[in-house]
Amino acid sequence: MTLRLFKAALAALALGSAALPSLASAQEFERPVRIVVPYAPGGTSDILARLIAPKLSEAIGQSVVVENKPGAAGNIGADSVAKAKPDGHTLLLADIGTLALAPTVFPDLTFNVQNDLAPVGMVMFAPYVLAVHPSVPAKNVAELVAYAKANPGKLAAANSGIGGLNHITAIALAKDLGIEWKTVPYKGGSAASRAVVSGESNVIINGATATLPFVTNGQLVGIAVTGEERLAALPNVETFKEAKLPLADAGTWQGVMTTGGTPPEVVARLNAELAKILAMPEIKDRVAEQGGSVRPGSPDDAKAWLANAIKNWGEVARAADVKIN
Amino acid sequence: MELFDNLLLGLSTALQFNNLFYCLIGVVIGTAIGVLPGIGPIPTVALLLPFTFGLEPASALIMLAGIFYGAQYGGSTTAILVNVPGETSSVVTCLDGHEMAKKGRAGAALAIAAISSFFAGTVATVIIAVLSLPLAALALKFTAVEYFSLLVLGLFAAVILAHGSVSKSLAMVFLGLLIGTVGIDVNSGIARMTFGVPALADGLDFVPVAMGLFGLAEIIANLERPAVRQVVSQKLRDLMPSRADLKAAFPAMVRGTFIGSALGVLPGGGAALPPFTAYALEKKIAKDPSRFGKGAIEGVAGPEAANNAGAQTSFIPLLTLGIPANALMALMIGALMMQGIQPGPQVMTEQPELVWGVIASMWTGNLMLLIINLPLVGLWVSMLKIPYRLLFPAIVLFCCIGTYGISNSAFNVWLMLGCAVVGYFFIKVGVEPAPLLLGLVLGPQLEENFRRAMQLSDGDPSVFVTRPISAVLLGIVAIMLLAMLSPAVLKTRKEALAE
């Protein structure tokens, strides 16, 4: 009896192992997956990565580790992903807008953004807020332009670091509006918004996460926002599009990439899991807390977006003549 | 009363069970490393930084702060019983504390040291609470111009107040400033002195440099010395000091507390300055100075109060201005940044429960320290029996793990090991590495603020003297320089530091 049972079990096992190969190909992840965040802990990318990691781990049945590799505007972390084994086990969660500018702004870049990295999918978008210190008598774009023209040299636009998308946006904006302002670089977005609150600089263009709290509590005055529609928190502030400003699609674009040359089916699997995670209400809520909205999409959409951004924003950066080294 | 509201808010944070727990962990670790010569709070805090990421910001800071002032308690235990300073700040405690122990009054010396530290800690907590609000309000008016002047003041203070020769500390500050220029320049985006190494793009990380220069170098230097650790063994049963002891010690305690509080706030003060100054003062005003060095109780009470008060008030510039007063506070900035908090005056208004929680936790922490230090002193002393051959390899291992963990960078581990060699050289030639570290931390800020001020004023340097706060700060620097150059001051400084 027991022997027969044993034999039956053996047979079942043999059958099972015969069926295993097909199962194994569905199980693409045989070791822990790393999500590299190329910035210090605590920023938007880091928070997103730490939100996504446990959910992804559940879905693929492997542990998912978040690793912070800060330095050189995110290029050190991105480089480590670009040079990893192309099997989808090393992911990058970063501001793709900044990554799109890198080839133009950093001619010494150690990797090729389009070939050495493969987009998995977009994660979120948070619009930029253009705001001024209350000492600047302007409430909309027209008044700001009028003030700038009447008071040359009075405006100083803070940005979160040289060569970043908000730096380029400030230069492009001034050019388009025919006004002049100094662009003052700070170390990171929160230092920049603090400087504008204290009045050291008096204009800021930066992500809603860092800027919106100061506008809603009245320490800064909102002038315009990027993105397709007005912000729910600032219904009276016009969009870049309404004000006919360039770079209306600028903002914080967070996305997931993996190593270039990763098999498309692995990327597809990752994208499918990412889409499921981004559809979870708790994730949506946390992203909204960061001042943005989730942007699920296919890898090809992300690829096209990246190519477009590299071309368009690169042109703007070249026109602004921002080059590092 | 806004002050009481704030303190109550702080207490409600500090008294949460998990925060009490982390505070206890912090002060226990602090006491342990304080007792052990060779490991100070700087490498310990650096080591624990990566592990604080998962904690609430308040818990993380409460624990790290506990390590810092806990070490001041532990350091004096070793000083009194073994005549080896557990920390640089307890060097002077050896002088009279160990003499008292040799005369069979170890219990009284330990108790006075702990009571003085507790008294100073309590007063300093109140001082921080009172000063923080007006200073933070002032700090909100700070722009690049004022920050630049404040940093100049801090660097000059570091040189003048440093322990040892002025020329050496000046050289170290400049070396620090120079090393601080490595990396991508914020204003132009140009990489400087990186030799094409991407890991240098953001400059030399402060933590591995600190751990190499202070932690590992100190261990190498300790290996050379024979491990003479003769513990004064005697019954510590009579811990309670006599009424006469308390009466003699109390005025010294009060004076030490105020000296420590004042010197702790000064940027660049360093750990050795408050206790040395307090000791010099006690000796000067004593009726019979010859008692000092032979077991005078004031010589324990004054410096012990001063070092603990100084350790706590050095949080003021950090909490109000976002500027580190010493190397350890620079690590605290790192801890804040890891939590996504940009240190600066806005933290006070945006995260009051964090700031006041940390302040209030200093008081609960001091209370815990009093309890774990007095009855449990025997336990701490037995820790000194751990042989170095087990302790040191463990420390080196933890330093490597800790350094690697901060940004997952193997480069930082090599940097730390390189700095250990350099630090050993510094110890051999008798130069203090603290000013270098301060130069390294403050240098990039100094340059950034100077250039930003220039950019905003269209290159007009007169802004530094026409803006009132900046003018006052630079005025203090000028007075300090003049005083430095006057022969009378030079002479007294030499005498004071020769003590």
Between A50 and A13, name the one with better pLDDT: A50
CB B75 within 8 A of CB B86: yes
For chain B, give the mean pLDDT: 82
Mutate to test the interface with B, among A83, A110, A325 (most CBs of B within 10 A): A325
DSSP A56-98: HHHHHTS-EEEEE---GGGHHHHHHHHTS-SSS-EEEEEEHHH
In chain A, which among 23-42 make CB contacts under 8 A with chain B?
40-42
pLDDT at B414: 94
User: Cβ–Cβ of B199/A185 closer than 8 Å?
Assistant: no
Q: Which residue of B has its CA nearest to A36?
A: B408
> Stretch A142-159: mean pLDDT, rounded?
93
d(CA B141, CA B445): 17
pLDDT at A281: 93
- Using pLDDT thresholds of 50, 70 and 90, give the confidence band for residue A25: very low
CB nearest B337 (choices: A40, A162, A199)? A40
- Using pLDDT thresholds of 50, 70 and 90, give the confidence band for residue A18: very low
d(CA A306, CA A312): 10
Contacts of A43 in chain B (CB under 8 A): 340
What is the per-residue pLDDT across A244-269, written as a single tens digit (0 to 9) for each? 998 888 999 999 999 999 999 999 99
pLDDT at B74: 85
User: Cβ–Cβ of B187/A185 closer than 8 Å?
Assistant: yes
**Terminal Cα-to-Cα distance of chain B (whole angstroms):** 44
Find the helix packing angle between B2-14 and B17-35, rounded to 10°.
Answer: 80
User: Cβ–Cβ of A68/B407 closer than 8 Å?
Assistant: yes
What is the per-residue pLDDT across B258-309, written as a single tens digit (0 to 9) for each? 988 988 887 655 666 788 888 888 888 888 888 888 888 888 999 999 988 9
Helical H segments across B266-297, by residue range: 273-285
Nearest chain A CA: its distance from B338 CA (Å): 5
Identify which of A41-55, A155-169, A292-306, B93-107 has the greatest average pLDDT. A292-306
- Of the candidates B89, B174, B105, B322, the one whose C-alpha atom is nearest the C-alpha of residue B97 is B105
What is the phi/psi pair of residue A120, to 5°? -95, -40
Q: Which two tokens stand for residue B427?
A: 């110890």
- Of the candidates A186, A229, A218, the one whose C-alpha atom is nearest the C-alpha of residue A205 is A186
Between B389 and A9, name the one with better pLDDT: B389
Q: Which two tokens stand for residue A286?
A: 């946390």
CB nearest B456 (choices: A156, A188, A322)? A156
* Cβ neighbours for B238, distance < 8 A, ≥ 6 positions apart: B107, B108
Least confident of A55-64, A100-109, A246-255, A271-280: A100-109
d(CA A258, CA A88): 6
CB nearest A194 (choices: B188, B342, B408)? B342
> Stretch B107-116: mean pLDDT, rounded?
88
Helix (H) or strand (E) holding A36: strand A33-37
What is the per-residue pLDDT across B66-90, written as a single tens digit (0 to 9) for each? 998 888 888 888 888 877 777 777 7
CB nearest B340 (choices: A42, A110, A322)? A42
User: Cβ–Cβ of A72/B201 closer than 8 Å?
Assistant: yes
User: Cβ–Cβ of A42/B189 closer than 8 Å?
Assistant: no
Identify which of B163-167, B260-264, B388-392 has the greatest average pLDDT. B260-264
Interface of B with A (CB under 8 A): 53, 140-144, 184, 186-191, 198-199, 201-202, 337-342, 344, 346, 407-409, 448, 452, 455-456, 458
A71 touches chain B (CB under 8 A): yes
Domains belonging to chain A, first-starting first, are 33-125+251-320 (3.40.190.150), 127-239 (3.40.190.10)
Q: Which two tokens stand for residue A285?
A: 């809520």
Q: At residue A237, does pLDDT exceed 90?
A: yes
Mutate to test the interface with B, among A37, A50, A109, A200 (most CBs of B within 10 A): A200
A162 touches chain B (CB under 8 A): yes
User: Cβ–Cβ of B190/A110 closer than 8 Å?
Assistant: no
* Ramachandran area for residue B225 (φ above 0: left; ψ -120 to 50: alpha; else beta): beta
The ranges assigned to domains in chain B are: 2-498
Dihedral over alpha carbons A321, A322, A323, A324 (to 10 degrees): 160
User: Cβ–Cβ of B143/A110 closer than 8 Å?
Assistant: no
**Terminal Cα-to-Cα distance of chain A (whole angstroms):** 79
- What is the residue type of A206? N
Nearest chain A CA: its distance from B8 CA (Å): 26
10 Å CB burial of residue A147 (0-12, 13-18, 19+) is: middle
Q: Which two tokens stand for residue A193?
A: 């918004």
Distances (CA, A) of A20 to A16, A23, A217, A270, B26: 6, 5, 60, 22, 52
DSSP A121-148: EEEEEEEEEEEE-TTS--SSHHHHHHHH
pLDDT at B270: 61
pLDDT at A4: 53
Indicate the DSSP class of residue B292.
Answer: T
Nearest chain A CA: its distance from B456 CA (Å): 7
CB B10 within 8 A of CB B360: yes
pLDDT at A127: 93
pLDDT at A17: 43
A201 touches chain B (CB under 8 A): yes
Mutate to test the interface with A, among B147, B342, B458 (most CBs of A within 10 A): B342
Helix (H) or strand (E) holding A294: strand A293-294
pLDDT at B407: 67
Q: How many CB pairs under 8 A join A and B?
A: 88
d(CA A209, CA A291): 5
- Of the candidates B468, B477, B419, B423, the one whose C-alpha atom is nearest the C-alpha of residue B446 is B477
- Of the candidates B158, B221, B231, the one whose C-alpha atom is nearest the C-alpha of residue B446 is B158
Q: At residue A318, does pLDDT exceed 90?
A: no
Torsional sign, CA A137, A143, A147, A148: positive
User: Cβ–Cβ of B201/A162 closer than 8 Å?
Assistant: no
Q: Please name every residue paired with A117 in a beta bridge, in sequence order, or none if there are none.
A: A259
Distances (CA, A) of B454 to A16, B143, B418, B458: 74, 12, 36, 6
d(CA A290, CA A52): 14
Mutate to test the interface with B, among A187, A197, A214, A216 (most CBs of B within 10 A): A187
In three-state secondary structure terms, B175 is: helix
d(CA B274, CA B391): 30
- Using pLDDT thresholds of 50, 70 and 90, give the confidence band for residue A124: very high
Q: How many CB atoms lie within 10 A of CB B185?
A: 18
> Stretch B252-256: mean pLDDT, rounded?
93
Nearest chain B CA: its distance from A119 CA (Å): 24
Mutate to test the interface with A, among B415, B452, B469 (most CBs of A within 10 A): B452
Q: Which residue has the tokens 């009571």?
A: B115
pLDDT at B498: 53
